[in-house]
């Protein structure tokens, strides 16, 4: 189970007041709660600063989910799990994505411009107006994306903002290793009105980072702290799952040698029902089994039984194939001795199931990773698993038959993780008489 660290989110009075004071600034209006007009929060040198904390996750809002679901769902129509990746879509769609994600930022700029305008009117026309945005919970955007969006809105929506400062605390962890990034950046909107106190603000921000992380390391934030290390953002819309993968944690873990742990919300996936079986009898075994089951109509003749097998096979699907299993009188009798409560055709089918399970288990355990240098058989079952984010339940797989390098895909875009995909691949391998399974992981959206 993936247990991620938690950290206390930043607050205005406990943290940002500290930053401003360390930089040499002060509250703009100590009696702001009693004033009729809305003013800016701080004064630092010749600058007035309006603080905006982004506490909410945009993609947790139903209206944003519907818009994002409509946009990305149309771009990936055949996938049960849709990855929200704005870097792989066309420019027009990127603009639509940016418009959706900028919703809260528009509100921030709209509010700040009125407050900064009022403060400049009270303090003086020479005051430099600064919008200070701190990302406290909007993890669907990277720091760089947020900075770009704030700058765009400040330039396009108002003339009242001279400078933009964007900062944030981004916590990453895997249950063993954890680290936090504390970026802070300044962009001048009106070059002729520079925010000359930025370096003092940046130095004070770094002091806050040191203080906050010391508290975190000392356990002062507690296990119930509200802000968890970054996780996938996952939501369902119109019957499909949408995932904005968490930022990859970075270099290979020295503790988790086999890869960082992932969530698995389908704990019994390894034994999930992936196939039906039907007993197949050779001419010799048919006569032997028929002698013990004389009254079974389906065993009236070998042709009758074979017709039954073919009928059963015709109902197989790529996700639930029907697999014919060779059964002998000896293996059937041995199974009945271990299970004396079963008889008739039900016992014959159960014996086939057991034999299938043994063969499928051997194939799954013998499956090999396909990598450069491996000896590849002429024919094998190919399995490709897309690892998507932190939860195995969101992985997507495809399964096919590879013959002399050419793959004929049987299963595409199946919501199966590693062992579920191998289990289904084993069913197809037995059905097709293929002796080998080779698998590969697509790590494009992996959190490893």
- Is 206 within a domain? yes
DSSP conformational letter for 287:
H
What mean pLDDT is predicted for residues 144-167? 96
Q: What is the pLDDT of residues 103-113, one digit of tens each?
A: 999 999 999 99
Domain identity same for 218 and 312: no
CA distance 222 to 218: 9
CA distance 86 to 95: 9
pLDDT at 247: 81
- Is 90 within a domain? yes
Query: Residue 319, Cα to own-chain centre: how many angstroms?
Result: 23
pLDDT at 271: 46
pLDDT at 269: 44
Q: What is the pLDDT of residues 87-140, one digit of tens each?
A: 999 999 999 999 999 999 999 999 999 999 888 888 888 899 999 999 999 999
Helices (H), 226-343: 283-292, 302-313, 329-338
Residue 67, both tokens: 């818009």
Residue 62, both tokens: 């139903």
What mean pLDDT is predicted for residues 18-26? 97
Q: What is the pLDDT of residues 332-390, one digit of tens each?
A: 999 999 998 888 999 999 999 999 999 999 999 999 999 998 999 999 999 999 999 99
The answer to whether residue 73 scores a pLDDT higher than 80 is: yes
The answer to whether residue 33 scores a pLDDT higher than 60 is: no
Q: Are the C-beta atoms of residues 269 and 420 closer than 8 Å to each other?
A: yes
Instruction: Please write down the long-range contacts of 87-93, taking CB distance under 8 Å and 24 or more positions apart.
Output: none
Domain identity same for 378 and 351: no
- Is 50 within a domain? yes
Residue 139, both tokens: 């993890």
- Is 258 within a domain? no
Torsion of CA 405, 410, 412, 414, to 10 degrees: -130
Binned at pLDDT 50, 70 and 90, residue 329 comes out as: very high
Predicted TM-score (pTM) above 0.85: yes
Domain identity same for 372 and 295: no
CA distance 422 to 402: 15
Angle separating helix axes 91-101 and 62-75, nearest 10 degrees: 170
- The mean-pLDDT minimum among 24-28, 113-117, 270-274, 360-364 falls in 270-274
Terminal-residue alpha carbon distance, the chain: 15
- The arrangement of strands across the sheet holding 406-414 comes to 368-369, 437-442, 379-386, 396-403, 406-414
Which phi and psi angles does 386 have, rounded to 5°?
A: -85, 115
| Residue in the structure block whose two tokens are 């002091």 | 207
- Is 384 within a domain? yes
What mean pLDDT is predicted for residues 307-324? 97
Domain identity same for 199 and 218: yes
Domain identity same for 87 and 198: yes
Domain identity same for 402 and 331: no
Domain identity same for 385 and 345: no
The CA-based angle 115-117-118, given to 5 degrees, is: 65
Of 345, 365, 385, which closes a domain? 365
- Is 215 within a domain? yes
- Is 302 within a domain? yes
Find the helix or strand (DSSP H, E) in which 241 lies: strand 240-244
Structural domain tally of the chain? 3
- Reduced to 3 states (helix: H, G, I; strand: E, B; else coil), residue 132 is strand
CA distance 298 to 73: 48
Residue 35, both tokens: 């004033």
Binned at pLDDT 50, 70 and 90, residue 32 comes out as: low
Domain identity same for 165 and 82: yes
pLDDT at 301: 95
Find the helix or strand (DSSP H, E) in which 323 lies: strand 322-326
Largest CA distance in the chain: 106
Domain hosting residue 424, numbered range: 367-442
Of 208, 234, 260, which closes a domain? 234
Distances (CA, A) of 267 to 1, 264, 307, 358: 10, 6, 38, 21
Domain identity same for 177 and 53: yes
Domain identity same for 345 and 393: no
Domain identity same for 96 and 15: yes
The CA-based angle 291-297-302, given to 5 degrees, is: 60
The DSSP line for 155-202 is: HHH-SS--EEEEEE-EEEE-SS-EEEE--EEEEESSTTS--TTHHHHH
- Is 164 within a domain? yes
Of 338, 365, 392, which closes a domain? 365
| Residue in the structure block whose two tokens are 């409560």 | 341
Domain identity same for 47 and 95: yes
């Amino acid at each position: 189970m993936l247990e991620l660290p938690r950290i206390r989110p930043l607050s205005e009075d406990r943290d940002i007041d500290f930053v401003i004071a360390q930089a040499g600034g002060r509250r703009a209006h100590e009696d702001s709660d009693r004033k009729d007009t809305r003013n800016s929060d701080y004064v630092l040198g010749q600058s007035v600063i309006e603080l905006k904390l982004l506490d909410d996750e945009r993609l947790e809002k139903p209206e944003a989910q519907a818009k994002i679901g409509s946009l990305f769902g149309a771009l990936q129509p055949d996938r049960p799990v849709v990855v929200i990746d704005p870097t792989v879509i066309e420019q027009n769609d990127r603009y639509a994505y940016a418009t959706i994600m900028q919703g809260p930022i528009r509100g921030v700029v709209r509010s700040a411009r009125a407050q900064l305008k009022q403060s400049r009117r009270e303090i003086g026309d020479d005051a430099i107006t600064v919008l200070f945005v701190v990302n406290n919970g909007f993890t669907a955007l990277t720091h760089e994306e947020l900075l770009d969006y704030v700058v765009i809105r400040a330039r396009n929506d108002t003339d009242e903002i001279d400078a933009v400062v964007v900062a944030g605390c981004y916590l990453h962890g895997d249950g063993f290793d954890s680290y936090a990034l504390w970026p802070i950046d300044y962009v001048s909107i009106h070059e002729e009105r520079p925010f000359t106190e930025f370096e003092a603000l940046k130095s004070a921000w770094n002091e806050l980072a040191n203080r906050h992380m010391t508290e975190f390391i000392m356990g002062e934030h507690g296990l119930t702290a509200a802000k968890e290390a970054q996780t996938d953002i996952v939501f369902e819309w119109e019957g499909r799952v949408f995932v904005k993968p968490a930022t990859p944690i970075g270099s290979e873990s020295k503790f988790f040698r086999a890869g960082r742990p992932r969530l698995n919300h389908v704990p019994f996936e390894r034994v999930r029902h992936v196939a039906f079986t039907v007993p197949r009898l050779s001419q010799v075994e048919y006569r032997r089994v028929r002698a013990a089951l004389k009254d079974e109509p389906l065993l009236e003749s070998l042709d009758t039984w074979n017709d039954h097998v073919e009928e059963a096979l015709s109902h197989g699907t790529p996700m639930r194939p029907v697999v014919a299993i060779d059964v002998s009188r000896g293996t059937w009798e041995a199974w009945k001795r271990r299970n004396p409560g079963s008889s008739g055709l039900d016992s014959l089918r159960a014996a086939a199931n057991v034999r299938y399970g043994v063969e499928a288990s051997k194939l799954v355990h013998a499956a090999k990773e396909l990598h450069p240098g491996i000896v590849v058989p002429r024919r094998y079952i190919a399995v490709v698993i897309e690892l998507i984010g932190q939860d195995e339940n969101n992985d997507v797989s495809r399964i096919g038959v590879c013959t002399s390098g050419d793959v004929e895909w049987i299963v595409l875009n199946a919501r199966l993780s590693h062992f579920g995909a191998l289990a289904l691949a084993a069913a197809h391998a037995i059905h097709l008489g293929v002796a080998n399974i080779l698998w590969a992981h697509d790590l494009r959206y992996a959190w490893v």
